[in-house]
Amino acid sequence: MLILQKDFHNWTSDNSDIDEFIKQTQLNTETFKDIIEWIPFNQFTNIKYLAKGGFGTVFKAVWTDGFINGYIHEYWSNKWPRNGKTDVCLKGLDSSKDIKQEFLNEIKNQHEHGGSSGIKIYGITKNPNDDNYMIVMQYAKQGSLRKLLDSKYNDSYITDFGLCKPVSQDSSSDEVYGVLPYIDPVVLYKEGKEYTQKLDIYSFGIIMSEVFTGYPPYHNIPHDFSLVTQICLGCRPEINCKVPQLLLDLMNKCLDAEPQN
């Protein structure tokens, strides 16, 4: 939307890659519902800690102005109509002072492909206390998948596609990152293998098993080197409940050790 271009000089994230990412997203969007913004941190109040993840910390906050919910009527206003006070999720990213373009591509993928079952990304902000960047996202009232399954709630959403590594890490690194049960055995077996979208399919299969059973994968055994060995040798979560065969077949395809299958 070219109308957003008029405001480019009024804000900056202090990071040229982030600035360019937001600007390009705004120029290429076709509807106000898909706008990603740079949101000043002073727009957030009542910030509360929710959880600590592998590569960051998650908070709940109130966004004072709220997200854009309509078009500018240039004849009588030069401001976007907004939703007003809105509960949001702030996903703080560790070591994001040196944020990489690859990470911004992950945000872009989630923003473009989240669909109706994906949590909306409203924008990016910066925590002045540690200078780390934060993703501003739609607040999921049901919380994590674990809480959702514990409550036997029927409607679920993809809150984020996750990070395959710290935001400051480039693709040349040979270190393995992630939560063990969800890491593709190809990565475990061939340490240093580059992460790809095909490898994410395995993680989706593990999530399917968790949804089917209501339990975390390998919840009854230690998550140690022994489990790494078992996974590489073909061990997969057991499904001891009735599940439609079509879904079981889909899960097993996702969990195939050969990504090309």
Tell me the whole-structure pTM to 2 decimals.
0.67
Average pLDDT, the chain: 79
pLDDT score recorded for residue 177: 58
In 114-196, which ranges are continuous DSSP H helix? 145-150, 185-189
Running DSSP on this structure, what letter comes out for residue 32?
A: G
Angle between helices 16-28 and 101-113 (to 10 degrees): 20
In angstroms, the CA 90 to CA 163 distance is 15
Q: How confident is the model at residue 59 (pLDDT cuts 50, 70, 90)?
A: very high
Residue 149 confidence (pLDDT) above 60: no
In the chain, % of residues over pLDDT 90: 29
Asked which of 50-54, 97-101, 143-147, 218-222 is least confident by mean pLDDT, the reply is 143-147
Q: What is the CA radius of gyration of the chain?
A: 20
Q: What is the pLDDT of residue 75?
A: 47
Q: Which residues pair with 88 in a beta bridge?
A: 61, 138
Where does residue 152 fall: left (phi above 0), alpha (psi -120 to 50 degrees), or beta otherwise?
left
Question: Is pLDDT at 193 greater than 70 in this prediction?
Answer: no
User: What phi, psi does 34 have (nearest 5°)?
Assistant: -105, 10
Domains and CATH numbers, the chain: 1-157 (3.30.200.20), 174-261 (1.10.510.10)
Can you tell me whether residue 11 is helix, strand or coil? coil
Q: Identify the DSSP state of 194.
A: P
- CA-closest candidate to residue 121, choices 130, 133, 112, 131: 112
- In angstroms, the CA 259 to CA 237 distance is 18
Tokens representing 126 are 């910066």
Nearest CA among 128, 135, 132, 131 for reference residue 21? 135
Residue 208 scores a pLDDT above 50: yes
**Separation between Cα atoms, residue 174 and residue 202, nearest integer Å:** 20
pLDDT at 152 over 70: no
Could you tell me which residue, 98 or 211, shows the higher pLDDT? 211
Task: Give residue 71's pLDDT band: very low, low, confident or very high (50, 70, 90).
Answer: confident
pLDDT band at 78 (very low <50, low <70, confident <90, very high): low
C-beta atoms surrounding 208 within 10 Å:
20
Please count the CA atoms within 13 angstroms of the CA of 67 that sit on its side-chain side: 19
Q: At what angle do helices 197-213 and 245-254 cross, to 10 degrees?
A: 140
**Pairing state between β 56-63 and 44-52:** antiparallel
